[in-house]
């Protein structure tokens, strides 16, 4: 049964997202990220089909707003299809869906390109883009200086806070300091993420248990194999919502990350994508997508994806 995933914490997040979406000034941000490749099949979505249809007409979608025209160029975009609400396989239609799909399809409708989404394991996604195996990657990728050494970033499009997810009956943990002070506590997270990097600034590696995907970390938390999971708040709210009788978010934000799309170093796509983003902010499209995917009407949970 589908359950709502957006309680009070998500409402505050949603309001913050709308403020970011309304900022029509382009932010000058470029960046990067690492990992090992696991490429799946090419995926298309109904929205992508709409992009192709719009590009087959007589009007050039890229010229109306003085945006670059990529001439129908194919853009390969890596996505994990396991990170709500950014990308996932819709449990009702079995079609790929999410914020990344909606936004990239609209970007390509503006600058005349064709998005080709390729399901890719997170562990190798960033390095694969750095190696030129993909033209870009989405997936809620945080911008940081280390990643900027190997990839370029788009302007940031969202800010995400890192929080602690614990069991509902947990009374030992109020914040990260509680975990640091108790050597018996183990913190779970996902490999190759800024969540792992944040965890490592507080704890030695032997007290961090890293998993290939966050669902495995959350399962370990419910089973009692780890005592807390450090996680992006958007994902944490989703897990909390589907396990309302078992999990809760505690403590303040430990880190606030800006998210951006990534490209190989020197990619000629960065500027056109940034220009299209500015248009999406100005015309209200980004606000509409944020309102849906991060608002109370979005009710897909990780349970639904199993």
Cα 290 to Cα 18: distance, rounded to the nearest angstrom: 7
Cα 86 to Cα 88: distance, rounded to the nearest angstrom: 7
Q: In sequence order, which residues have a C-beta less than 8 Å from that of residue 279 and are 6 or more positions away?
A: 65, 67, 110
155-179 residue pLDDT tens:
999 888 899 999 999 999 999 999 9
What sign does the CA torsion over 92, 123, 277, 239 have?
Answer: positive
85 preceded by a cis bond (ω within 30 of 0):
yes
Of 189, 187, 160, nearest in space to 176 by CA: 187
Most confident of 10-14, 32-36, 52-56, 134-138: 134-138
53-102 residue pLDDT tens:
444 444 444 445 689 999 999 999 999 998 889 999 999 999 999 999 99
Residue 107 structure tokens: 């970007």
91-129 residue pLDDT tens:
999 999 999 999 999 999 999 999 999 999 998 999 999
Task: Check residue 18 and give its pLDDT.
Answer: 45
The answer to whether the CB of 262 falls within 8 A of the CB of 144 is: no
The more confident residue out of 40 and 98 is 98
* Domains assigned to the chain: 8-157+260-305 (3.40.190.10), 160-257 (3.40.190.10)
For Cα atoms 250, 252, 257, give the angle at the middle one, nearest 5 degrees: 115
- The alpha helices in 182-254, defined as continuous H runs, are 194-202, 214-223, 233-242
Which residue do the tokens 């590696």 mark? 205
User: pTM (2 decimals)?
Assistant: 0.67
- To the nearest 10°, the Cα dihedral for 246, 169, 15, 26? -90
Strand partners, 136: 77
Task: Check residue 55 and give its pLDDT.
Answer: 47
Residue 34 reports pLDDT greater than 90: no
Q: What is the mean pLDDT of residues 207-235?
A: 90
Task: Check residue 239 and give its pLDDT.
Answer: 65
Of 149, 146, 145, 124, nearest in space to 137 by CA: 124
Q: pLDDT > 90: what percent of the chain?
A: 57
């Amino acid at each position: 049964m589908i359950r709502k995933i957006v309680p009070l914490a998500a409402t505050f997040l949603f309001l913050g997202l709308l403020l970011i979406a309304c900022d029509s000034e382009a932010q000058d941000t470029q960046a990067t990220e690492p990992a090992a490749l696991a490429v799946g099949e090419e995926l298309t979505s109904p929205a992508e089909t709409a992009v192709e249809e719009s590009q087959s007409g007589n009007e050039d979608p890229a010229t109306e707003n003085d945006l670059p025209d990529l001439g129908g160029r194919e853009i390969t975009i890596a996505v994990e299809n396991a990170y709500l609400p950014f990308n996932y396989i819709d449990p009702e239609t079995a079609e790929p869906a999410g914020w990344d799909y909606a936004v990239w399809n609209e970007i390509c409708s503006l600058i005349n390109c064709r998005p080709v989404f390729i399901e890719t394991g997170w562990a190798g996604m960033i390095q694969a883009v750095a190696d030129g195996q993909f033209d870009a990657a989405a997936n809620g990728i945080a911008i940081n200086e280390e990643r900027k050494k190997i990839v370029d970033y788009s302007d940031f499009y969202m800010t995400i806070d890192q929080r602690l997810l614990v069991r509902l009956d947990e009374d030992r943990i109020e914040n990260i300091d509680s975990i640091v002070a108790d050597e018996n506590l183990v913190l779970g997270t996902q490999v190759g993420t800024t969540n792992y990097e944040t965890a490592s600034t507080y704890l030695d590696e032997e007290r961090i248990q890293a998993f290939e995907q966050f669902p495995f970390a959350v399962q370990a938390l419910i089973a009692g194999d780890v005592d807390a999971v450090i996680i992006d708040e958007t994902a944490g709210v989703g897990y909390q919502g589907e396990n309302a009788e078992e999990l809760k978010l505690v403590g303040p934000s430990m880190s606030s990350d800006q998210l951006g799309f990534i490209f190989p170093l020197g990619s000629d796509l960065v500027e056109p994508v940034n220009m299209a983003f500015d248009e999406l902010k100005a015309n209200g499209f980004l606000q509409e997508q944020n309102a849906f995917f991060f608002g109370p009407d979005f009710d897909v949970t990780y349970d639904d994806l199993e």
